[in-house]
Structure 1
């Protein structure tokens, strides 16, 4: 009986032992009207989670040089938009839609928030567009005015008075953001 228990212990330990973390690349995309392509990495562990945050890798297709951009911890990439025809502070950029799991403060609150980030191709700086404690619902870029219009909601995170929603405008020429309408 001791030998069987001992054998089962080692079989279980060997089967569940973490051999190595695995890094996967997302889809490779060309960035419109630029020399760059972009992909992202995700790291997975056999223990059931990611050990490192998502990284975006920008590849200069002429020189082969790469630039890594690390996103905030526990942030997952939903979509990378590379076909943007506008400029941000005079530079080409990509828009990254992300989501992350947050602590639910109330029973009706969502456990996830969606966020929007811009990454400039000049310096690869990450600029958050979404407001803290709000979740992105929808967004559009107006190329005529060079502005991003987006709707975000509080989703019951602060109190039970209902969902606060607001329409925001982000000016790509100067990097300023303002609220233009709210339901409260």
Structure 2
């Protein structure tokens, strides 16, 4: 029986099947996948880049990359949602790094133009190093507050660059267990970092 529009039941969309079909060239399948994942991808990008315009750009770039790479998607290794969000996260981090490099370069050039005969003082580099060390210490302390199982899962996912499925394989646990450990660990990390 086909669900009617006025039914209040939620229709489940098989995102993995849509992405596999998109990998075979089905533009309509990708259009549906795009519609389903756009809000989540945009929220992730916005949380990472913290600029609405950049977040829109990153989201579009990530979804275009997902379309181009759809044929390489393997539903045995990751879900379509985690695969697309991983691409989005990587794009967002790349954009933040690029923006920081451009800002540092512009500041360096401005300092050089302001006093062409003097060697530029790397004050920004010192401040940046101190800030990075402080942030690293905060994250290390927050990671220390996680259970050993949560820390192992979070580190495998974010420092190891593994998908949820790869984390599950690496830890020898079911996919749902790996996802729960990562989710709970990230929640505790967020609480620890916000409280610090």
Same fold (TM over 0.5): no
The structure carrying a bigger strand percent of its residues is 1
Pairwise TM-score range, normalised by the shorter structure: under 0.3
The structure carrying a bigger helix percent of its residues is 2
TM-score by length of 1: 0.21
Kindly indicate whether structure 1 or structure 2 has the higher relative contact order, using CA contacts under 8 Å at least 6 residues apart. Answer: 2
